[in-house]
Structure 1
Amino acid sequence: MSDEVGFAFEGVDRARWRHRRPEGPARGIVAVLTVLAIVGVLGGGLWYGGTKLFSAADYAGPGDGEVVVEVKDGDTATDIAGSLVQAGVVKSAAAFVDAAEDNSDSKNIQVGSYILRKQMKAADALLMLLDLKNRNISKVTLPEGITHLQAYDRLAEATGIPVAEFKKAGKDPQKLGVPALWFKRTDGKKVDKANIEGFLYPATYEFARDATATDVLKVIVKNFNAEMAELKFAATVTAELNISPYEALVAASIAQVEALLAKDMAPVARVLYNRAYTGNFPCGCLQLDSTVNYWLRINGKEAKSSEKLLTTEMHDPDNPYRYNAKGMTIGPISNPGEVALKGAMSPPKSKFYFFVTVDQKGAMAYGETYADHERNIQEACKNGIPIC
């Protein structure tokens, strides 16, 4: 779909009046009455010899109130003019077509919904259509790695819809369009079907200003489904990793938070799989501060750096995301983007069970044994990473 409207000034003949000698008084009167009748019906202008004799019917003022007008793909100047007349924005179609013909920027009007005023001067209405600030949309960017609660805060700020309404609408992800296949696991753990975490795909979105919280979340989930289909995520992880799509989504959400650099997201995902599924990691758990911090965040508490986390917080038996919980974490801890998702679906093969950030740029080092991990930690300490 083109973002610009293709104008053709159709429907308004620029009055190529033929100049003929009158054939008597009666014929001249009839001709004048005919012309005036046409002008009255069309509300348009009358041209003679390239000179405009009468102006198209137009409002004089800036207008008032609010009205929504839709510009559709393929609309001509006449189409838009008709919509404006019907909405009560301009007085005549001809006035808007005149304004569009006089303004070379009119070809740049973009497809979309606009908030205009009623009873406007046609030229002013044109300028409002050219100003994207008048589009009937709310625009918001959801970055990679934020939680659903952080997403709700951003959405509420952009749309004016209360956070409480997003929380209510988000309690049933399947009604929002998340397919049932995402609520199954192969490791025996039960999926919380009321948990929308992981399904709010990071991107920049535009929403109609009259959209509800449900409308907004449905758009985001629809994008999630489209991206997963494009990546062939579900089919790939099921066939190549022998795990459910949901478990891979969990891994992607953790890699998104743990890895600072894009190149580390896939290797981190492999470490998670090695710990959770191989049976070669002593506790068969993930032992991650990030999952503990997620639990703190969604319960209204501040996340803490590794050295400040209390043992009681890390091993809280009421926390399903606790440090020593068996297997892959119970649910996503963020909303991962494309790089993290690709890393989780196609991680490089390795025997690594440990990773740690080792420099100020965020690069990671990996180890097979705890002795390897300790050496990497010492390197990190030398580089000023506060983990010692």
Structure 2
Amino acid sequence: MDEMELRFEGNPDPGRWRHRRKEGKGRSVVAFVIVLLLLGGLGAGGWYGYDRFAGRFLAADYDGPGSGEVIVEVKKGDSASTIAETLHGAGVVKSTRAFVNAANENPKSTGIQVGQYKLRKEMKASEAVVALLDLKNKHVEGAFTIPEGWTHMQVFDALSKETGIPVAEFDKAAENVQALGVPALWFKRTDGKKVNKKDIEGFLYPATYELPKDATAEQILKMMIKNFNAEMDKLDFVETVQSELNISPYEALVAASIAQVEARLDVDMGPVARVLYNRAYTGNFPCTCLQLDSTVNYWLRLIGKDAKASEKLLASELHDPKNPYNYDVKGMAIGPISNPGEVALKGAMNPPKSNYYFFVTIDDKGTTAYGVTNDDHEKNKLIACKNGIPIC
């Protein structure tokens, strides 16, 4: 069976799904064993054995949302098959194979976090995957998770719902980022642009936090900043960026925050960061600007508007002179547009060398294609359009 591993919060060796072994002959062996169990005169015992093998290797699935309530736990280091066994044992899914298949087909499944979840019995496997991705189903009291790629606005809104503290109090506490514990070295850039010391974006490290009872907004944010500093030290982010890339840590943080949003797959975090650096710093990209829809959408969110799909963004929005994140701003963006996780940060620290200046998602699996020239990019866009990606 194709067994693949999920990356969970706190896993010391995070990774995407990894193939381990293939099916083929394995199916024949399973079929042979099932036949033996059914024909070997084992009666009830044979049926029990068949049920176990069918649950493990056949993709039997429920067809509804399920009913009732059951608590299941995803533990540190659990593989996809381990989670499937847990769910099958709790009566959530009809077979382990159905869950593994559903997880493989959902590119977001790698975002499932460690913890306890409230699920229903007899759920369709694909709905069980979605339920595990929904933080509202988290059962651990006092635990609060920041998913990779959330903006500070999303974090504050979720924190307010979790704690009852008004969003305005988090906004006020975030007005002095340095007082919350962000070191002064993060407020410098090598490209001459100024860093907004009231901008907390990028410093709220994605993780699961235990919120102290009756904690204030300031105390909660200080706890998160403390974790950010610890993770940066663990990654040796500052020293690596300064010595290997000759840019400020803040600029690399900005790149990581953009790669986190733009790259659908972990493997593309580094290559996308390299494209950003190539555009912003080499002088070989005509406008030396980023030209990204994601930065434009971030500004729309900042001013209280909804983000738009790329094909729906207007030229007036892309080139809005009042938008400091617009298409035409030269160099690296003025600040982070999300809170990047470990993979994106590592990608921004150690991006693979390339002469790519373009990238585009070309299928619903999140595959990214790269190009050196605009002609390359247009060809990749045609591939995306043929695959149903709405960018034409």
**TM-score between both structures, scaled by the size of structure 2:** 0.64
Counterpart of 1:163, as a letter, is V
Higher gyration radius (CA): 1
For 1:227, what is the secondary structure of its paired residue? helix
Counterpart of 2:330, as a letter, is K
1:314 is the counterpart of 2:326: no
Q: Corresponding residue for 1:194?
A: 198
Superposition pairs for residues 1-388 of structure 1, below 5 Å?
138-388=142-392
- Give the aligned length: 255
Shift of 1:307: 1.2
Counterpart of 1:188, as a letter, is G
Counterpart of 1:209, as a letter, is K
* Separation (CA, whole Å) in 1 of partners of 2:211 and 2:309: 36
* Separation (CA, whole Å) in 2 of partners of 1:243 and 1:186: 6
C-alpha RMSD over aligned residues: 1.4
Shift of 1:209: 1.4
* Separation (CA, whole Å) in 1 of partners of 2:280 and 2:349: 15
* Separation (CA, whole Å) in 1 of partners of 2:165 and 2:227: 20
The answer (yes or no) to whether the contact 1:255–1:265 under 8 Å persists in 2 is yes
For 1:355, what is the secondary structure of its paired residue? strand
**TM-score between both structures, scaled by the size of structure 1:** 0.65
* Separation (CA, whole Å) in 1 of partners of 2:386 and 2:211: 48
- After the TM superposition, which segments of 4 or more aligned residues of structure 1 sit over 6 Å from their partners? none
> Percent identity between the aligned chains?
72
* Separation (CA, whole Å) in 1 of partners of 2:379 and 2:347: 26
For 2:359, what is the secondary structure of its paired residue? strand
The answer (yes or no) to whether the contact 1:138–1:159 under 8 Å persists in 2 is no
* Separation (CA, whole Å) in 1 of partners of 2:289 and 2:148: 25
Distance 1:284 1:207, change over 3 A: same
What is the CA deviation profile of residues 156-188 of structure 1, one whole-angstrom value per residue up to 9, with x for unaligned ones? 111111111100001111000000000000000
Counterpart of 2:346, as a letter, is K
* Separation (CA, whole Å) in 1 of partners of 2:139 and 2:352: 48
Shift of 1:138: 2.4
Gaps of 5+ in 1: 1-132
Gaps of 5+ in 2: 1-137
What is the CA deviation profile of residues 99-140 of structure 1, one whole-angstrom value per residue up to 9, with x for unaligned ones? xxxxxxxxxxxxxxxxxxxxxxxxxxxxxxxxxx999x6221
For 2:268, what is the secondary structure of its paired residue? helix
The answer (yes or no) to whether the contact 1:291–1:321 under 8 Å persists in 2 is yes
Shift of 1:355: 0.1
